[in-house]
Structure 1
Amino acid sequence: MNNDNDRTSFCLPLKWLIGSLLAISVILSFTLHGIVYYIEEKVDKNLVKNADSVDAKKIIKRNSELKKSLSFLLPNSNYIVIDTAKNILYLKRGNKVIHQATVSTGSGSFLIDPKNKERRWVFDTPRGEFAIKKKIVGPSWVKPDWAFIEEGEDIPKNYYDRFEEGVLGDYALEIGNGYFIHGTLYTRLLGKSVTHGCIRLGDNDLKTVYKATSIGTKVYIF
């Protein structure tokens, strides 16, 4: 294949690359980490297939420069990145991965209250930028209405009848709006999208993440 054909085949990707980076920042809830991930996992890997092309080499170089520029915007302290597509949590500092763990994230399923069709819940893990708001040792689960409805039980009138011990593991990290990073009794389901929106970790991984983070630690979910 001659150089003209090579050049033609990369005209669209060059234009597409710019638009895609802008679009992906929206799709991944404006997270910097989503953009870096997209460049590494999607753009770079596709370009490697055409690595002998002059234009491909130029784009790879530009991508490398872009990732280097973006790296200066990363937090200097520890932070968490959660890939809901792969169900993987990364504990990072700058570009360095300190710890990697398999997690469970939201199932994306929904539930409708049979007694009130207007009450419904979507069990998805939220995407975007968050921060740890609270760190809890020995957390208790205060079961919400949907948990009783899902199990076919009556919703208790007594608030304290909602408490359930031992189901969230040894630690819990609150990231807001009722969502937590916590432990699980169902370790066999780690790596699957089965939760009601929270992020589940195995015991050892949860302990590592808990000790390496503090109030205010950034959490990026995409």
Structure 2
Amino acid sequence: MRKEKKSEGFKKAVAGFSIVLVLGGILFFSFFLYKRGISKRYEKAVSLYQEKIYAEALPLFVKLKETHRFNKHRINALYYSALAQTHVDNKQAKELWQEILDLPEASPEWHAEALFNLGRIEYEAGNIDKAGEIFQRVISAFPSTGEPFIRSLYYVGMITEQGGLGSYLNACSYYDQALAGLDDNSELADAVKRRLGELNMELFLSPVQTPESEMYSVQPGDSLALIAQHFNTTVFVIKESNRLTSNFIRPNDRLKVPVVNFSIVINKKKNTLTLLNDGKFFKLYDVGTGKYNKTPVGTFKIINKIAEPVWYKPDGGIIPYGDPDNLLGTHWMGINFPGYGIHGTWDEQSIGKQSSAGCVRLINSKVEELFNILPLNTEVVITDN
């Protein structure tokens, strides 16, 4: 009897234990499916975000960030919610970025990005002073956070330049710092270069003294042509930067003169022309280059400059300046490669692509700008990449 009772007790214990195991297994499997479901939803939301389908990604991220139990993706979902909402509604995005900023467990990079985006939202809302203060906080508190730091420099540069010509030097310093930390092929680098180049040129051709200039006292016997030759510049640059309306100068006149060493790099792959000063970026231009890769590659120099050029066609025809069939635009700068040079065009649609018979072309206003500031013998490097 005792053995039978023990046997029955053992069986009951085993049965009970089996039930516990089964229930535990069911609970474990349910828990596994629950966590897996969260991960699957997170992966789907991230995929939608990466495909820039923000309107569909956003509700998934919002639901995930509000799921607190056993959700390892909650903080990341909050971050992505802010990113996605940035493309949908700045007002809602502002609340999310503030929530991230208030998270003690968020990394310095996230804090910097949250602060930057709060500044960007204020900037886009027209609250320039408040935006500037926020961007300055990013610059001072998070100098090692990569993109938020660099983008803050860019925005502070844009805010600073709104102060006019007298503020351009300070704006340029912000753009220079931003450019130093960027991949040269990034969209932001291109945007920074466009702004920096415009300011560099305005300062260069203004009376404002810059690190690229000095003051010169006119000597007896001087002329603008002699001074330009001495400083390896052009008469146009001296007249423009001193607001001279004639070539007349007198001894002891004080003139702003450039201290620069310009060179040009033309990238056939990107169809861009970069103006450098002592090897440092100065300004970026879009160009058209030769069809079928006809533009020569190598290091050359400018050997002649002609305003209102006549076009001597390869077949012997002569097309005068102003004729619609003249392909050279308003200005020509020949290089020491026979038949090739840098010239203007009236066909703006031909810029940014391989479109010429081999020469490098810019829209007329841009080639005129280069024509006016570049002396003969300026180095021209043409590359494939």
Matched-pair identity in %: 34
1:86 matched to 2:270? The reply is: yes
The Cα offsets for residues 153-199 of structure 1, whole Å up to 9 and x where unpaired, read as xxxxxx6x523433312210000311010001211120010111000
Structure number with the higher strand fraction is 1
Counterpart residue type for residue 170 of structure 1: T
Q: How far off its partner does 1:211 sit? A: 1.5
Secondary structure of 1:201's partner? Answer: strand
Q: How far off its partner does 1:94 sit? A: 1.9
Report how many aligned residue pairs link the two structures: 122
- In the alignment, what sits opposite 1:136? 306
Secondary structure of 1:188's partner? Answer: helix
Secondary structure of 2:376's partner? Answer: coil
Please, what is the CA RMSD of the aligned residues?
A: 1.9
- 1:165 is aligned, of 310, 315, 321, to 321
- In the alignment, what sits opposite 1:127? 297
Alignment of 1:2-151 (within 5 A): 77-108=261-292, 124-145=294-315
CA contact (8 A) 1:143 1:164 kept: no
CA contact (8 A) 1:104 1:195 kept: yes
CA contact (8 A) 1:81 1:89 kept: yes
The Cα offsets for residues 100-125 of structure 1, whole Å up to 9 and x where unpaired, read as 110000111xxxxxxxxxxxxxx700
Counterpart residue type for residue 290 of structure 2: G
Work out the CA distance in 2 between the residues paired with 1:199 and 1:77.
21
Work out the CA distance in 1 between the residues paired with 2:184 and 2:379.
22
CA contact (8 A) 1:78 1:212 kept: no
Work out the CA distance in 1 between the residues paired with 2:300 and 2:279.
19
Counterpart residue type for residue 169 of structure 1: G
CA contact (8 A) 1:172 1:180 kept: yes
Normalising by structure 2, report the TM-score: 0.30
Secondary structure of 1:99's partner? Answer: strand
- In the alignment, what sits opposite 1:178? 339
Secondary structure of 1:139's partner? Answer: coil
Secondary structure of 2:270's partner? Answer: coil
Work out the CA distance in 2 between the residues paired with 1:164 and 1:137.
12
The Cα offsets for residues 4-38 of structure 1, whole Å up to 9 and x where unpaired, read as xxxxxxxxxxxxxxxxxxxxxxxxxxxxxxxxxxx
Counterpart residue type for residue 268 of structure 2: T
- 1:217 is aligned, of 349, 367, 378, to 378
Work out the CA distance in 2 between the residues paired with 1:209 and 1:80.
10
Work out the CA distance in 1 between the residues paired with 2:377 and 2:321.
26
- In the alignment, what sits opposite 2:365? 204
The Cα offsets for residues 68-93 of structure 1, whole Å up to 9 and x where unpaired, read as xxxxxxxx610111001000001111
Secondary structure of 2:345's partner? Answer: coil
CA contact (8 A) 2:310 2:318 kept: no
Structure number with the higher helix fraction is 2
Work out the CA distance in 1 between the residues paired with 2:302 and 2:295.
15
Work out the CA distance in 2 between the residues paired with 1:220 and 1:140.
25
Q: How far off its partner does 1:97 sit? A: 2.0
Counterpart residue type for residue 125 of structure 1: T
Work out the CA distance in 2 between the residues paired with 1:136 and 1:162.
16
Normalising by structure 1, report the TM-score: 0.51
Q: Which structure is higher in RCO with an 8 Å CA cutoff and minimum separation 6?
A: 1
Task: Mark the runs of 5 or more structure 1 residues left unpaired by the alignment.
Answer: 1-39, 43-75, 109-122, 146-158
Q: How far off its partner does 1:41 sit? A: 5.8
Secondary structure of 1:174's partner? Answer: strand
Instruction: Report the more deviating stretch, 166-175 or 125-134.
Output: 166-175
